């Protein structure tokens, strides 16, 4: 069978950056996929999944620097000898963080951009764009920057549906998508006959029987594994791709002391005719417990989180917080000092040149002494597995940036913490470990997730949103 993608002897190392020395990432990595095959690459955070996808797309080392050896051929042509824009019909990539690749002001313009670069006639572009957007229930005139994180991933997928390249690279694309969209996308890929490489830090049961091959990325090499066997499921648990056996967790405090935060009769609407509306009659975060918020992409989970932490003001309704005694109505400023909101996209909250400055920023605003700050920072680096205080956050992996983002709010010691898709890019076991760190200090946690198994493991109560309302 003809190979659509062929990698031979791939070795790669990023250049050394100040305060962030590089180590070899891949060592003699081989991969061959016949045309029409769907392959899944499972890898822990920081194992190189995103870098592998960007190398296959021709983006690394062209735009990053680094030392690469070996050969990469897609559609029988060397990817290293052509420019990325010359391979639009050959290979397409959905980034782990789609915000890095969306840049236009409308969804239809985003999906049309590559087709216009190919010189397609206007009518053909219009048909392809309309079909791609409608298949994922995306509005043509919506600004991509106003979409939810999951909807942005759907838009990036729609861009590939419009172009239909021979090889699809989906970097952690199934995270942050609701279960219905995951299944629909995978079934559509199977029917398309395209060659697909999916990377993931999680094993979803829907992969079973729907992907042709499964590889483990570890130690800079790929090793093929066989799903459906006892050894495979043991491997999933050992490597952290699946939660292990449920560990007993005391729920005595989960709601026993009433609510730490309550919302009543919340109403919110974004500006514009037909814009999204949120209506929440009642929401209760248990004191000393964890509330999971689940729902389809675009159902209002992040909007609700932004109201609870004071970033958005509801048109009507109140949010009340319990300091010690009775619940008290809080304005937006008061909420922002008590409720930490860990954004879905870490790059919206990380902005300083070193890990040290990022971690220390809030503590210095609180007036802590430098000696105490230094001691707390050393503990945070160890607890959150950060590379070092002098490392530049902009050059860290997505998972490392998520851990840094969490460490910042752990140091600030807010009584309520909201994690918006906090497990994305980390894997469920690592996220559970981070939650345990916060449970030692926070009096209430909110976990927004599309992983229903994770929600059932960590939460004392679960709320499902559907089209802006509690289902």
- What CATH number did the domain enclosing 395 receive? 3.40.50.300
Specify the pLDDT at position 255. 46
Q: 37-69 pLDDT, tens per residue? A: 999 999 999 899 999 999 999 999 999 999 999
Percent of the chain with pLDDT over 90: 79
**Residue 370 shares a structural domain with residue 436:** yes
**Residue 150 shares a structural domain with residue 86:** yes
**Residue 232 shares a structural domain with residue 263:** no
**Residue 65 shares a structural domain with residue 211:** yes
Position 247 in a domain: no
- What the block records as the tokens of 367 is 């007036």
Cα–Cα dist 254/140, whole Å: 44
pLDDT band, very low/low/confident/very high, at 246 (cuts 50, 70, 90):
low
Q: Over 80: is that where the pLDDT of 257 sits?
A: no
Q: Report how far apart the first and last C-alpha atoms of the chain are (Å, whole number).
A: 49
**Residue 290 shares a structural domain with residue 233:** no
Pick from 49, 35, 41, 48: nearest CA to 6 = 35
Q: 102-148 pLDDT, tens per residue? A: 999 999 999 999 999 999 999 999 999 999 999 999 999 999 999 99
Q: Over 80: is that where the pLDDT of 74 sits?
A: yes
* pLDDT (mean) for 19-23: 85
pLDDT band, very low/low/confident/very high, at 254 (cuts 50, 70, 90):
very low
**Residue 219 shares a structural domain with residue 299:** no
Final residue before a domain boundary, out of 192, 209, 239: 239
Specify the pLDDT at position 13. 95
Which 3 state secondary structure label does DSSP give 405?
Answer: helix
Cα–Cα dist 459/462, whole Å: 7
Position 178 in a domain: yes
Which 3 state secondary structure label does DSSP give 380?
Answer: helix
Regarding pTM above 0.85, the answer is yes
pLDDT band, very low/low/confident/very high, at 252 (cuts 50, 70, 90):
very low
pLDDT band, very low/low/confident/very high, at 1 (cuts 50, 70, 90):
low
Q: 281-325 pLDDT, tens per residue? A: 999 999 999 999 999 999 999 999 999 999 999 999 999 998 877
pLDDT band, very low/low/confident/very high, at 244 (cuts 50, 70, 90):
low
**Residue 216 shares a structural domain with residue 263:** no
**Residue 150 shares a structural domain with residue 292:** no
- What the block records as the tokens of 213 is 């091959």
Cα–Cα dist 17/315, whole Å: 48
Position 200 in a domain: yes
* pLDDT (mean) for 267-293: 91
**Cβ neighbours around 362 below 10 Å, total:** 16
* pLDDT (mean) for 239-263: 67
Q: Over 50: is that where the pLDDT of 251 sits?
A: no
**Which range is least confidently modeled, 239-243, 332-336, 381-385?**
239-243
**Residue 216 shares a structural domain with residue 123:** yes
**Residue 337 shares a structural domain with residue 422:** yes
Average pLDDT over the chain, rounded to whole? 92
Position 165 in a domain: yes
**Residue 280 shares a structural domain with residue 230:** no
Pick from 85, 7, 81: nearest CA to 51 = 7
Report the domain count for the chain: 2
* Residue 444 near residue 286, CB atoms below 8 Å: yes
Final residue before a domain boundary, out of 239, 274, 299: 239
pLDDT band, very low/low/confident/very high, at 414 (cuts 50, 70, 90):
very high
Cα–Cα dist 28/148, whole Å: 39
Dihedral angle of Cα 109, 110, 113, 114, to the nearest 10 degrees: -150
The torsion angles phi and psi of 105, rounded to 5 degrees, stand at -100, -5
Beta bridge partners of 218: 221
**Residue 364 shares a structural domain with residue 437:** yes
pLDDT band, very low/low/confident/very high, at 82 (cuts 50, 70, 90):
confident
**Cβ neighbours around 123 below 10 Å, total:** 8
Cα–Cα dist 136/32, whole Å: 30
Position 340 in a domain: yes
Position 249 in a domain: no
Position 124 in a domain: yes
Q: Which domain holds residue 374?
A: 259-470
Cα–Cα dist 76/318, whole Å: 61
Distance of CA 208 to the CA centre of its chain: 22
Total number of residues shown for the chain: 471
DSSP 189-243: HHHHT-EEEEEESS--GGGTTT-SEEEEEETTEEEEE-TTSHHHHHHHHHHTSS-
Final residue before a domain boundary, out of 239, 271, 300: 239
Position 128 in a domain: yes
């Amino acid at each position: 069978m003809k190979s659509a993608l062929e990698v031979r002897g791939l070795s790669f190392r990023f250049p050394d950056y100040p305060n962030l020395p590089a180590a070899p990432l891949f060592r003699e990595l081989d991969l061959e996929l016949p045309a029409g095959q769907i392959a899944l690459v499972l890898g822990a955070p920081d194992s190189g999944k995103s870098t592998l996808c960007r190398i296959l797309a021709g983006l690394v080392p062209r735009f990053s620097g680094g030392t690469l050896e070996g050969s990469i051929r897609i559609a029988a042509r060397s990817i290293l000898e052509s420019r990325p824009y010359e391979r639009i019909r050959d290979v397409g990539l959905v980034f782990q963080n789609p915000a890095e690749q969306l840049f236009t002001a409308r969804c239809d313009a985003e999906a049309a951009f590559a087709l216009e670069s190919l010189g397609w006639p206007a009518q053909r572009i219009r048909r392809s764009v309309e079909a791609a957007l409608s298949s994922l229930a995306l509005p043509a005139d919506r600004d991509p920057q106003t979409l939810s994180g999951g909807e942005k991933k759907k838009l990036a997928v729609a861009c590939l549906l419009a172009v239909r390249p021979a090889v699809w690279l989906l970097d952690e694309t199934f995270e942050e998508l609701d279960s219905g969209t995951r299944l629909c996308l995978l079934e559509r890929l199977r029917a398309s006959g395209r060659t697909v490489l999916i990377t993931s830090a999680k094993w979803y049961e829907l992969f079973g029987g729907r992907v042709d091959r499964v590889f483990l990325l570890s130690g800079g090499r790929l090793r093929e594994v066989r799903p459906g066997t006892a050894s495979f499921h043991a491997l999933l648990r050992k490597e952290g791709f699946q939660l292990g056996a449920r560990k007993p967790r005391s729920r005595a405090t989960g709601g026993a002391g009433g609510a730490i935060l309550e919302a009543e009769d919340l109403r919110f609407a974004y500006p514009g005719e037909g814009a999204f509306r949120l209506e929440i009659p009642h929401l209760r975060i248990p004191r000393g417990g964890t509330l999971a918020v689940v729902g389809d992409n675009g159902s209002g989970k992040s909007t609700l989180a932004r109201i609870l932490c004071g970033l958005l003001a509801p048109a009507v309704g109140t949010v009340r917080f319990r300091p010690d005694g009775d619940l008290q109505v809080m304005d937006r400023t008061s909420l922002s000092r008590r409720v930490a909101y860990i954004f879905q996209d870490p790059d919206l909250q990380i902005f300083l040149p070193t890990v040290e400055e990022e971690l220390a920023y809030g503590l210095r605003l609180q007036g802590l002494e430098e000696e105490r700050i230094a001691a707390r920072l050393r503990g945070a680096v160890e607890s959150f597995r950060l590379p070092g205080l002098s490392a530049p956050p902009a050059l860290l992996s997505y998972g490392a940036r998520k851990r840094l983002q969490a460490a910042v709010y752990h140091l600030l010691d807010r009584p309520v913490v909201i994690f918006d898709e906090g497990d994305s890019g980390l894997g469920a076991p690592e996220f559970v470990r981070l939650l345990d760190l916060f449970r030692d200090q926070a009096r209430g946690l909110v976990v927004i997730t599309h992983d229903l198994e994770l929600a059932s493991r960590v939460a004392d109560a679960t709320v499902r949103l559907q089209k802006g309302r509690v289902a």
